[in-house]
């Protein structure tokens, strides 16, 4: 029946034996500020939609952070709407939950606009029941029941899980999918080991599939009592140099999920932009020797080059390492764009503070210097917004208004939360 449906491209009817759906997360549309990477970001999203249409999936699940901001630029929003419209034209519903980036507790978001336009269906249907909350399902035409828990900034969705009536959800019969946008404490590894998370026990048991988002790393977890818990990782390159480095190794992508008596998942890898990461230490080298080491020795045509500079120079100054010179050298070797990261590079007169990553360094400094009633998370969110570059074609006044508006919303969210806790 499935094969016949694909060959004839006919609409599927209710209650088929097998459901086929796509599971994606963390597209962070609008996060890329370099033209070459912007193109890759859009290509990755187009390929997701193309695959959904070409494979005749029953539906698409998007587990949070479709956008990098709750109010992306009109250009980004228009692009997303055009692509989602293609899904609707092929009668493929897109179910989503809000993520920590594209959600705001006090302001409307572009996600809601797309929901009202019929291009997305919000799977988070939270209902108060006494002192507890429960989730109402969306029943897809395949018979699959879809439940969703949104993600919030700073992991505040934990408060929802603490009053969630899990027993009610666990007693529901049929094929069930649980969408969520949180890290799980027991599954954190590597650079995500200290990420804000919820314990596995907060999730309801007895679901066929747990469609995760938020963690920017791909994983498939078969857990007793929980079925298959899957994180697809970022659809493209996420945001930040650590995500781009991971993308250079593993690519981005999403899962096609075959649901029948059991669950089978197939990863669809996306690599619309080739990223080459050059990681070289300055230890034991003079500034002149280090520059020589960093100069391109091969062809980099059509690539995005990321230079990760770190270590301690034997002699010379960090200022001797010219980012402009290196960008020009790699452009001459064919690179489409060059990113230079030098946060962990020091000269002989400087002390190297090894904290792992730039993000971890920022978190350490904020934890040491941001004092109550303010929070390091507030400072980090503001820094992220204020460090964004101008969009292509954006005027100075529009740029200032966009960043100022996003910063204002973050502060208002913080003040609203603080006021609520006082009550």
Buried b / exposed e over 239-253, threshold 16 CB at 10 Å, is bbbbbbbbbbeebbb
Last residue of a domain, one of 352, 375, 392: 352
* 142 and 12 Cβ atoms separated by less than 8 Å: yes
What is the spatial order of strands in the sheet that 274-281 belongs to? 274-281, 303-312, 337-346
Structure tokens at 69: 């901001």
pLDDT of residue 222: 95
Same domain, 280 and 407: no
Q: Phi and psi (nearest 5°) for 281?
A: -90, 145
| Residue 196 clears pLDDT 50, i.e. is over it | yes
Q: Distance between CA atoms of 206 and 224, rounded to whole angstroms?
A: 9
Q: Are residues 204 and 108 part of one domain? A: yes
Q: 105 and 66, same structural domain?
A: yes
Nearest to 234 by CA among 258, 206, 253: 253
Encoded tokens for 258 = 């075959």
Q: pLDDT for 341-352, tens place per residue?
A: 988 999 986 555
Is 205 annotated in the active site?
Answer: no
Tokens coding 394: 């954006």
> Residue 86 is encoded by which pair of tokens?
């293609």
Give tens-digit pLDDT for 274-305.
999 999 999 999 999 999 999 999 999 999 99
Cβ proximity of 272 and 235 under 8 Å: no
Is residue 219 domain-shared with residue 250, that is, in the same domain?
yes
The pLDDT of residue 393 = 64
Rounded Cα gap, residues 3 and 21, in angstroms: 15
Q: Are residues 344 and 304 in the same domain?
A: yes
194, 161 Cβ separation under 8 angstroms: no
Q: Where among 270, 287, 307 does a domain terminate?
A: 270
Report the b/e string of 97-133 with b at 16+ CB within 10 A.
bbbbbbbbeebebbbbebbeeebbbbbbeeeeeeeeb
Give me the helices (H) in 55-155, please: 74-89, 110-116
The pLDDT, as a whole number, for residue 392 is: 63
CA distance 307 to 330: 10
Asked whether the CA dihedral 72, 94, 243, 185 is positive or negative, the reply is positive
CATH number of the domain within which 240 lies: 3.60.21.10
Whether 200 shows a pLDDT value over 70: the answer reads yes
To the nearest whole percent, how much of the chain has pLDDT over 90?
68
Same domain assignment for residues 230 and 285: no
Q: Note whether 38 and 102 are same-domain residues.
A: yes
Q: How confident is the model at residue 202 (pLDDT cuts 50, 70, 90)?
A: very high
Residue pLDDT, tens place only, 136-166: 999 999 999 999 999 987 778 999 999 999 9
- Whether residues 88 and 74 share a domain: the answer is yes
User: φ, ψ for residue 168 (rounded to 5)?
Assistant: -65, -45
Q: Which tokens is 40 given?
A: 């890759």
Catalytic residue among 101, 181, 214, 216: 101
- pTM, to two decimals: 0.79
- Number of structural domains found in the chain: 3
Q: Across the chain, how many H-helices and E-strands are there?
A: 12, 19
Which spans in 211-357 are helix H?
241-250, 287-294, 323-332
pLDDT tens-digit map of 217-238: 999 999 998 989 999 999 999 8
Please tell me whether residues 212 and 336 are part of one structural domain.
Answer: no
Q: Can you say whether residue 155 is alpha, beta or left, with left for phi > 0 and alpha for psi between -120 and 50 degrees?
A: left
* Of the residues 248, 270, 292, the one at which a domain ends: 270
Nearest to 278 by CA among 208, 315, 329: 329
**Are 326 and 384 in the same domain?**
no
Q: Which domain holds residue 20?
A: 2-270
Residues 66 and 204 in one domain: yes
DSSP-H helix ranges across 210-356 = 241-250, 287-294, 323-332
Residue 133's pLDDT band (cuts 50, 70, 90):
very high
Identify the DSSP state of 357. Answer: S
Average pLDDT over residues 304-324: 94
Residues 363 and 341 in one domain: no
Q: Which residues pair with 212 in a beta bridge?
A: 180
Using CA atoms, how far residue 67 sits from 77, 284, 407, in Å, is: 8, 43, 16
Instruction: Report the distance separating Cα 132 and Cα 147, nearest Å.
Output: 16
């Amino acid at each position: 029946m499935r094969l016949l449906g694909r060959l004839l491209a006919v609409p599927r009817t209710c209650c088929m034996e097998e459901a086929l759906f796509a599971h994606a997360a963390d597209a962070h549309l609008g996060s890329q500020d370099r033209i070459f990477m912007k193109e890759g970001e859009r290509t990755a999203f187009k390929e997701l939609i193309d695959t959904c249409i070409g494979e005749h999936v029953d539906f698409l699940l998007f587990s949070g952070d479709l956008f990098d901001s709750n109010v992306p630029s009109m250009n980004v929003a228009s692009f997303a709407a055009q692509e989602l419209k293609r899904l609707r034209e092929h009668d493929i519903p897109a179910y989503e939950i809000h993520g920590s980036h594209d959600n705001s507790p006090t302001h409307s978001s572009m996600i809601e606009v797309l929901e009202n336009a019929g291009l997305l269906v919000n799977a988070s249907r939270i209902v108060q029941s006494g002192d507890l909350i429960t989730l109402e399902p969306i029943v897809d035409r395949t018979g699959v029941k879809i439940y969703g828990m949104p993600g919030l900034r700073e992991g505040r969705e934990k408060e929802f899980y603490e009053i969630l009536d899990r027993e009610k959800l666990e007693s529901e019969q049929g094929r069930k999918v649980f969408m969520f946008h949180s890290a799980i404490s027991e599954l954190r590894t590597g650079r995500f080991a200290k990420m804000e998370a919820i314990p596995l026990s907060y999730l309801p048991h007895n679901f066929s599939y747990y469609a995760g988002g938020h963690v920017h790393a791909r994983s498939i977890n078969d857990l007793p009592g929980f079925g298959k818990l899957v994180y697809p990782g970022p659809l493209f390159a996420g945001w930040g140099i650590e995500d781009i480095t991971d993308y250079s190794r593993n690519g981005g992508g999403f899962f096609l999920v075959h649901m029948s008596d059991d669950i089978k998942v197939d990863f669809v890898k996306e690599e619309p932009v080739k990223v080459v990461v050059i990681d070289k230490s300055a230890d034991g080298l003079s500034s002149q020797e280090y520059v020589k080491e960093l100069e391109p020795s091969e062809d980099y045509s059509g690539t995005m080059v990321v230079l990760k500079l770190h270590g301690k120079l034997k002699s010379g100054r960090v200022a001797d390492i010219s980012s402009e010179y290196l960008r020009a050298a790699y452009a001459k070797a064919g690179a489409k764009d060059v990113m230079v990261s030098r946060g962990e590079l020091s000269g002989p007169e400087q002390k190297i503070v090894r904290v792992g990553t730039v993000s971890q360094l920022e978190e350490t400094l904020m934890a040491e210097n941001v004092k109550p009633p303010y929070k390091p998370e507030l400072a980090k969110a503001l820094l992220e917004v204020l460090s964004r570059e101008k969009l292509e074609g954006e005027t100075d006044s529009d740029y200032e208004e966009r960043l100022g508006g996003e910063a204002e919303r973050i502060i208002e969210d913080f003040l609203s939360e603080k006021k609520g806790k006082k009550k």
